[in-house]
Amino acid sequence: MLSQNSTSSLNDTYVRPLGFYITGFSNIPYIEYYCVLLSAVYILTVIANSFIILIICVEQRLHTPKYVAVFHVAVVDVCASTTIIPKLIETLILGSQFINYETCLAHMYFVFFFICLQSFSLVILAYDRLIAICFPLQYHVINTNTRMGVVVAVVWVFTTVAVIVLVLLVHRLSFCKSTVITSFFCDHGPVYHLACNDTFPNFIMARISMTIGLFAPLILITLSYVCIIFALLKTATADGRCKAFKTCTSHLMLVAIYYIPLLATYIQSMVSETNSNTRILNYLLSASIPPLLNPIIYSLKTEEIMESFKRLYRRNRIFQAK
């Protein structure tokens, strides 16, 4: 009997709200124009990434480890945009700021899951360039389609486990304070700060997640390019170095587009107090613009993609002529 009462008393200390109110955009002027912009960005993102996915699936010559990685980037970008933008547009158009508790945690999981995958996708591309430049003769032996698939699968499993731990630690919290989230989604930091019991494990997990999802991939990418530069310095001719490094330009542009806005926002928040609306807009732009630009960069900067598109276009015209 005592054990049952003790368990009941323990359960009573945990307060689960029916849901939360997301108020990140409540005080931003001209929000309807921003909603139109987001809608256009989302539609173009889906079209551009679907184009990359279609080209890689249809064109046999692109069934290589490099384009397995590019295919993965395109899929993750579509999923990340779909997780964030449609829900935000629905909130802005319908004015419904309430989200129930379970949906909030599920949304938190998927947003952080795909944001982490975006970082690791860039690491996978860096790994491919590292093998191609540092071990050119062994590239097709070391980096096969199967091994690239295994690398992608390991990244998905690792990210799944890390983000599940992050969300489960939120589920242990008791919310007896405000239920208002000052963000554009069920953001981990604003949510756990609303709790009234011990949030230290959440604080630690937030720092670990930021290290795993942001800084560790950036360090790995930087180290890979240090190795690439040393390998290129051993190349006999300047022309050879230039041609080899040219194959990295698309990837470097993706890294810059993804990391510079995030790092700028993070550093600014550490140096000075940032207006909440400014922080929200910066984070949203950082989450929505790179998935749009990534396929455009790969289409314009990668000869194989453009050649494959031309072949597919000519094939389609011949088929229609018949």
The residues, ordered by sequence, that sit 6+ positions from 248 with a Cβ below 8 Å of its Cβ are: 129, 133, 225, 228
The mean pLDDT of 220-249, rounded to a whole number, is 86
What are the pLDDT digits (tens) for 241-252? 888 888 888 899
130: three-class secondary structure by DSSP:
helix
* 171 vs 316: which has the higher pLDDT: 171
Instruction: Please say if the pLDDT value at position 257 is more than 50.
Output: yes
Query: What is the predicted pLDDT for the residue at 6?
Result: 35
Instruction: Please say if the pLDDT value at position 315 is more than 90.
Output: no
How many residues would you count in the chain? 322
Go through the domains of the chain in sequence order and give each one's CATH number: 17-321 (1.20.1070.10)
Query: What is the predicted pLDDT for the residue at 144?
Result: 95
Query: What is the predicted pLDDT for the residue at 272?
Result: 65
The mean pLDDT of 94-98, rounded to a whole number, is 83
* Contact (Cβ atoms closer than 8 angstroms) between residue 12 and residue 34: no
Give the separation between CA 273 and CA 286, rounded to whole angstroms.
Answer: 19
Query: What is the predicted pLDDT for the residue at 317?
Result: 64
Confidence of residue 11 (pLDDT cuts 50, 70, 90): very low
What are the pLDDT digits (tens) for 69-83? 999 999 999 999 999
Query: What is the predicted pLDDT for the residue at 218?
Result: 94
Query: What is the predicted pLDDT for the residue at 306?
Result: 78
19: three-class secondary structure by DSSP:
strand
What is the side-by-side strand order in the sheet with 180-181? 98-100, 19-22, 180-181
The mean pLDDT of 5-9, rounded to a whole number, is 37
What are the pLDDT digits (tens) for 159-172? 999 999 999 999 99
User: Is the Cα torsion angle 259, 264, 265, 271 positive or negative in sign?
Assistant: positive
The mean pLDDT of 45-66, rounded to a whole number, is 92
* 158 vs 243: which has the higher pLDDT: 158
* Contact (Cβ atoms closer than 8 angstroms) between residue 205 and residue 228: no
pTM of the model: 0.89
What are the pLDDT digits (tens) for 204-220? 999 999 999 989 999 99
What are the pLDDT digits (tens) for 104-132? 999 999 999 999 999 999 999 999 999 99
